[in-house]
Amino acid sequence: MSDTQKLELVDAHFHLWDLSSHRWYPAMQEPAPGETFESLGDVTRMARDFLLPEYRAEVEGYELAGLVHVSAVTAPRLYIEETAWADSLLAEAGVPFGLVGAVDPGLSRAELEADIDAQAASPRLRAIRVLAGLDPESAFAADLCELLRERGLRLDLVAHPGDAAGLRPLLERFADLDVVLEHAGWPDGTGAEDFAAWKRAVAGLAEHENVTCKVSGLGMVTHSLAPEALGLWVETSLELFGPERCFFGSNFPVDAMYGTYGDLVASIQAATAVLAPAQQRAFFVENALRVYGL
């Protein structure tokens, strides 16, 4: 598509937060947030209120066909309040949307079930993530997968290359659970060894047919949204998963630290230009609509 201003897309990974009103994000609201998110660079650039008006300003000119809001709380168990809050805000967005809630690792099965069901009070809940600390060999991981499967929800999987081998037995055990790999498997760095390790890890995860790849958040690794920074990661994700199992997410406002929404979309378009038009539309629109049931 030559005119990016008319591109239709589903943003399958974005965040809203109101730091002024909610003490849900201590990692951004503490006195020195840069120490917590050191690998991301100067995170004071994202430590700001980001609500629908700010998001609409970022995506002005694109035709939104759907949205998926992803939990970002870092305070224990406040994801329940955040999910209800996001649900009420997004009711005004004017497009189909889904919610990715969260749970804290290490909860008892009863606590885990209660927290999932509290968030499922929103009929738009589509998935649950564990932001950090998921032990795939733990009883918690098995309980989580069982409860999500029972409720027809998905697991939004936060994993780095070093986690992949340990996750594979869990993915095989729950082969009928829909799993979305966030941030294309979240590489550890941009060097040649980092890329090789990431590619091996993601290739293994791609062997599980129940896993799809959300191409999002790469700016957190590259610290740039330029085509030359993102291209190889996007192209390799498409190579490993195929265009029918990959889809777009912006990770804004986090990736806004490294460029504009237009910069991001233009770079992703450049990397997907080799795809047939129907495959490009699947990547930007249809796959996310299908995977998240929008």
Task: Kindly give the confidence (pLDDT) of every residue in the chain, 294 residues in length, as a single tens digit, with 9 standing for 90 and above.
Answer: 444 458 999 999 999 999 999 999 887 877 565 555 778 887 777 889 999 999 999 999 899 999 999 999 988 999 999 999 999 999 999 999 999 999 999 999 999 999 999 999 999 999 999 999 999 999 999 999 999 999 999 999 999 999 999 999 999 999 999 999 999 999 999 999 999 999 999 999 999 999 999 999 999 999 999 999 999 999 999 999 999 999 999 999 999 999 999 999 999 999 999 999 999 999 999 999 999 999
Instruction: Please choose, from the candidates 205, 222, 200, 204, the residue with its C-alpha nearest in 3D space to the C-alpha of residue 271.
Output: 222
Phi-psi region of 183 (alpha: psi -120 to 50; beta: other; left: phi over 0): left
Nearby residues of 254 by Cβ (< 8 Å), 6 or more positions away: 15, 40, 46, 217, 219, 220
CATH 1.10.10.10 fits 4-291, yes or no: no
